[in-house]
A and B are shown apart, each in its own frame.
Chain A
């Protein structure tokens, strides 16, 4: 789910930070620049280490000292095929939306929900739709009662829109598309009875 990524950048350390040790100052500037931002490689979670910093020249007419810094950051970037445990956030007629707490743009579109299924207005929540999987005449509801395992199908980085309508959803720079259409995926409660049955088979 997380990777280390090595980068190099030109960092300008403003004069008010120059009384701090160099590493601390550079780290502060990098954090402000990169933390919680989505780069082309993923969501930056933390600065891991600073490998080297050179330069420190103050350009004429400019206050900050400029350093060329090599550093490593921890990015959140799952790989395709990774199975991740998430929580249900909301659902609508297009599919489900799951969340990890620190990352909320995980979508499971309708075709990747196991079939046969149906979508009905949620009796507990007027604005939402609820998805129900029908298997062997049993109905399995998808809701927020337990953790939902999904497998990553695709990660996309939609380009920043130039214009946005007033009431549009906030722009999501990184979108993960997941599937729950496989054994063991979906809410964990669906498979708990199954695992007990498997254990019995193993014991005999």
Chain B
């Protein structure tokens, strides 16, 4: 069982964020075993791991941020580990405490918009976002929270007026969100309906 998924380092600005993932031979992690190492050679230039010389510390952190994950990817990872709603099934390779913790994280993520997303959706969305010149952190925020109105988008955008993002651009972003990202789940617990009543319609 080898291989690691590509890192999507937000701190490194080169290239299209999702490029490495989309063009990899195995772009899903719903397999029990992760991707074979052929991926590494093929995409060497997109990998930003750099192995620093090994020192004799007890724990050496090679790379603190080897890639930021959207909520969807973590959810996908948990699904592939079997942390789904089937609580009766005992998962052999995972110890009890990991199972419990994964379950709590899983429950949290299932209430966020991540549970209705797929890899194609978020890749497509981030591709389209480049027209609006958004920072990667903002794209991540939008994917994770799926803002449905200007007021929900406001805390995500930093200094929009100074960057030339006017009302029209904000509406454009919201239309993109509406068209490409599926609506979040209905949160049953407190009777709050987060789903938008009106659809803005297909991509204009």
Contact = CB atoms under 8 A, between A and B. Distances in A.
B7 interface: yes
Interface stretch (B20-28, B116-124, B126-134, B186-194): B186-194
A130 interface: no
Interface string B16-52: 0000000000000000001000000000000001000
Nearest to A202: B171
A1 B66 CA distance: 13
B155 A151 contact: yes
B153 A102 contact: no
A49 B137 contact: no
Interface in B56-99: 58-69, 71, 73-74, 77-78, 81, 93-95, 97-98
A79 B70 CA distance: 12
B71 A149 contact: no
B147 interface: yes
A35 interface: yes
Interface stretch (A7-15, A56-64, A160-168): A7-15
A122 interface: no
Interface string A92-131: 0000000011100000000000000000000000000000
Contacts of B7: 4
Contacts of A155: none
Contacts of A74: 69, 74, 77
How many B residues touch the partner, as a band? 35 or more
Given A72-B66, A101-B105, A191 B152 contact: yes
Interface string B149-179: 1111111101000000000000100000000
Interface of A: 1-10, 23-24, 27-28, 31-32, 35-36, 40-41, 45-46, 48-51, 68, 70, 72, 74, 76, 79, 81-85, 100-102, 144-147, 149, 151, 182-185, 188-189, 191, 194-195, 198-199, 202
29 contacts: A1-B74, A2-B73, A4-B4, A5-B65, A5-B66, A7-B59, A8-B61, A9-B59, A40-B61, A46-B81, A49-B2, A49-B34, A51-B2, A74-B74, A74-B77, A81-B137, A81-B141, A81-B158, A83-B145, A83-B155, A83-B156, A101-B105, A101-B107, A147-B187, A149-B155, A182-B155, A184-B154, A184-B156, A185-B155
